[in-house]
Structure 1
Amino acid sequence: MWRNRNVWILLIGEFVVGLGLWAGIIGNLAFMQEVVPSDFHKSLIIASGVLAGFLVGPLAGRMIDQSKKKTVVQWASIGRIVSILFMFIALYTSSVFWMVLFLITLQIAAAFYMPALQAIVPLIVKDKDLMTLNAWQMNARTISRIVGTAVAGLMLSYFELKWLYITSLIVYLMMFVLTSLLHIEEGQQSSMANKEKSNFKEVLPMVKAHPMVLMTLVLILIPTLFLGSFNLVIMKISEMHHSAALSGMIYTVEGIGFMLGAASLKWISERVQIGKLLFTLAFVIGAMELLLLLADRQLFALIAFGVFGFSVGCFFPMTMVIFQKQVPKEFHGRFFSFRNMIDSVIFQIVIVSTGMLLDLIGLNGVGLVFGMISIGLTITFLVYAKQKNVVMDV
């Protein structure tokens, strides 16, 4: 696998585009602090981009299935480049309108880019290497988040805001060049473009016909409960202990745990049957949510996030392999678009719910509620799998 040029292009591209993404996110926050006084208005601005990405999801899925995936990725890269140009206008005019246009364009490009990239992975490596490549792709994304936020924060201290977006522009141009070097044997598209019936609505019957895919989709809700509440929970823990340094320690421990989990997944999956591993990780994540009941002690807070990081470092690459192998290739574009749409909706619901629950029942209550939901879902689908004799293997 490591002699495959496409693999290196994919991993370097994942890291590079992550740098541009996080430089842009830090820049967005800094720009809104200058021109948007209301926190509510800031949330609406961010939500506008997310909504745009959600709305184009069905179209993106169909186009990915009906077109060459490399071409879709390249056009999405061009979309990101164009979005940065809108942001330069926003900086020059101090206009929120142009920033909204920037966010909408960026999220629309991402709605095409991410599902196409996920559909490319099984085309460039053999099935036995899917676990390894997905794990290292996650690690590249995590490292880019750590490096990107650190470098962007440093740049803001010494340079004007525009240099963050200049950096993003350079990075997206690099990504376009990298993707042009991909060599993918996609074959003929089985004349899908000529079939009027090949629409987005076919995804749901396909998911119902593959019980393992359905269960994995639902089980993804478990780590999403933790991830969606991540920043709010960490801020609450820091306030509880009156320590700003603690939040940095938690982020570090979680990041290290994630990378160790992703790096260990291949070794673990060779020794543990994938169905057992999936449900075990779901139980562990639910238990770590319950461990937030003891977050008034720093050690337990660090253990909870460290073990959570390791668990999701194994969980997400494994679910990606399940989808790439179990979902028919002619559905990959539509399915991964569908999955991204679900993720974006659940994330927004979890963020809002967490904020409300923290006010109503506090951190301990949030840990108890999320933990019970997670463990309840895991037990329910474990029983369902046993009753229906679902083969939990790929």
Structure 2
Amino acid sequence: MWKNRNVWIILTGEFIAGLGLWLGIIGNLEFMQEKIPSDFLKSLLMATGLVAGIIVGPYAGKITDQKSKKTVMLWSGLLRTISVIFMLIAIATGSVWWMLVFFVTIQISAAFYFPALQAAIPLIVKDKDLLQLNGVHMNVSTLSRIIGTAVAGILLVLLPLSMLYIGSLVAYLGLLILTWFLNFEENTNSSSEKKNTNGKTSFKDVLPVIKGLPIVFMTLLMTLVPLLFLGGFNLLVINISELQDSSAIKGWIYTAEGVSFMIGAFFIKKISDNFSPYKILFGSSLLVGVSQIMLYFADVFAVTIAAFLVFGFSVGCFFPTASTIFQTKVPKDFHGRFFSFRNMLDRIGFQVVLLLTGFLLDFIGLQLMCLLYGLLGIVTTFFFYVKNKQMLTANQEN
């Protein structure tokens, strides 16, 4: 795997793009803290971009299955690069409306880019290497997040806010150039035949495939549990910083969660040798709920850091396992539509959790909200566990 040039291009591109992404995210938080006082209004603004991504999702899935994955990644990468210009205009004019345009365009870009990337990875390496590559890919993403947030914090002190987005723009241009050098075989014959036979390829064709694969269907549902934490992650960080009256806690949180995530993703290959994918998913999901309950004591520095360490490790195990299940169990002809469907499901989940988080932060506060989310996550995990046991029993009887 490590002799494969495409692997290095994907990983290097992920690192560079991750730096740009997190420079932009920290810049977004700074701009919104300055311009928008309400947490709910902040969440509403971010959710608008997610809606745009959901709307174009079905079209993105069909295009990814019908066209070259590399071509889709190039065009979506170009749109992502252009979107940063809108944010530079927002800073220059002080307009929240231009920030809205930025959110919409960058989320539309993501709606095309990430399904194409997930569909391309199984074409680059063999199935036996997928879990390892998914883990390393997520570790590279996390490393870029740690470095990106640290660099962004330094730049905010030394330079104007616009310089964060200039750095983001340069990073996205770098990813665009690297993507151009990808070279792998794409088998579009089956999709073409399907298109010629049925007249057109429908996005809805993927739904019976998901329904017919119980492990895929259950894994899709399980991914909703970490979303309870991830959907309002940045709002949580802002509120913890205000609760503890410390700007430095932001950096500690991102670093603790990121390092712990990398440890989980690094050891997932060894963990998977001893435990089934289901046990890893259920165990990780349970830990997510525990980490949220720990944030009931978010006013205590040590407990806060411990909570994010637990959370980081759990999702570091969860997401590489889930991605590998999807890439190996779903037929490759449906990868574009499936990963687009998954992106849409994630975006809807993010949107609901983001709005709910903003609302609850304004009305019941951080600590009670985290307790509520944690209990909900644990109950949901237990429900899925019981359902899985019932399905396994029914299959054995049949």
**Structures share fold, TM-score greater than 0.5:** yes
CA deviation after TM superposition for structure 1 residue 31, in Å: 5.3
CA deviation after TM superposition for structure 1 residue 141, in Å: 1.2
Match of 2:315 in 1: 312
Q: Residue 189 of structure 2: SS of its match in structure 1?
A: coil
Number of residue pairs matched by the alignment: 390
Report if aligned partners of 1:61, 1:333 keep a CA contact under 8 Å in 2. Answer: yes
User: Does structure 1 residue 288 correspond to structure 2 residue 291?
Assistant: yes
Q: Which of 274, 278, 281 is 1:278 aligned to?
A: 281
Runs of 4+ in structure 1 displaced over 6 angstroms?
A: none
CA deviation after TM superposition for structure 1 residue 134, in Å: 0.7
Query: Root-mean-square deviation (CA), in Å?
Result: 2.7
CA deviation after TM superposition for structure 1 residue 158, in Å: 3.4
Of 184-193 and 323-332, deviating more is: 184-193
Q: Residue 182 of structure 1: SS of its match in structure 2?
A: coil
For residues 151-175 of structure 1, give each alpha carbon's deviation from its aligned partner in whole angstroms, at most 9, with x where no partner exists.
2333343344443333233222221
User: Where do 1:198-213 residues align within 5 Å?
Assistant: 198-213=201-216
For residues 239-286 of structure 1, give each alpha carbon's deviation from its aligned partner in whole angstroms, at most 9, with x where no partner exists.
555555444433322221111111111111122222222222222222
Report if aligned partners of 1:66, 1:189 keep a CA contact under 8 Å in 2. Answer: no
Of 293-302 and 107-116, deviating more is: 293-302
Structure 1 gaps of 5+ residues are none
Q: Residue 56 of structure 1: SS of its match in structure 2?
A: helix
Greater relative contact order, per chain length (Cα 8 Å cut-off, separation 6+)? 2
TM-score by length of 1: 0.88
Report if aligned partners of 2:44, 2:355 keep a CA contact under 8 Å in 1. Answer: no
Q: 1:169 to 1:301 in 2, by over 3 A?
A: closer
Q: Residue 2 of structure 1: SS of its match in structure 2?
A: coil
User: Does structure 1 residue 348 correspond to structure 2 residue 348?
Assistant: no
Report if aligned partners of 1:258, 1:313 keep a CA contact under 8 Å in 2. Answer: yes
Q: 1:299 to 1:73 in 2, by over 3 A?
A: same
User: Does structure 1 residue 119 correspond to structure 2 residue 94?
Assistant: no
CA deviation after TM superposition for structure 1 residue 108, in Å: 1.3
Q: Which of 210, 224, 228 is 1:221 aligned to?
A: 224
For residues 275-315 of structure 1, give each alpha carbon's deviation from its aligned partner in whole angstroms, at most 9, with x where no partner exists.
22222222222233333345555443332221111111111
Of 326-335 and 284-293, deviating more is: 284-293
Q: Which of 379, 383, 386 is 2:382 aligned to?
A: 379
Given residue 338 of structure 2, which amino acid in structure 1 is its aligned partner?
F
Q: 1:78 to 1:351 in 2, by over 3 A?
A: closer
Report if aligned partners of 2:43, 2:358 keep a CA contact under 8 Å in 1. Answer: no
Of 22-31 and 268-277, deviating more is: 22-31
CA deviation after TM superposition for structure 1 residue 60, in Å: 0.4
Report if aligned partners of 1:279, 1:378 keep a CA contact under 8 Å in 2. Answer: yes
Of 95-104 and 263-272, deviating more is: 95-104
Match of 1:46 in 2: 46
Match of 2:8 in 1: 8
Match of 1:145 in 2: 145
Report if aligned partners of 1:67, 1:189 keep a CA contact under 8 Å in 2. Answer: no
TM-score by length of 2: 0.88
User: Does structure 1 residue 257 correspond to structure 2 residue 252?
Assistant: no
Match of 1:365 in 2: 368
Q: 1:28 to 1:250 in 2, by over 3 A?
A: closer
Distance in 1, Cα, partners of 2:236 & 2:97: 32
Distance in 2, Cα, partners of 1:360 & 1:76: 38
Distance in 2, Cα, partners of 1:216 & 1:304: 24
CA deviation after TM superposition for structure 1 residue 238, in Å: 4.7
Q: Residue 142 of structure 2: SS of its match in structure 1?
A: helix
Residue identity over aligned pairs, in percent, reads: 53
Of 72-81 and 91-100, deviating more is: 91-100
Q: 1:155 to 1:189 in 2, by over 3 A?
A: farther
Distance in 1, Cα, partners of 2:180 & 2:2: 20
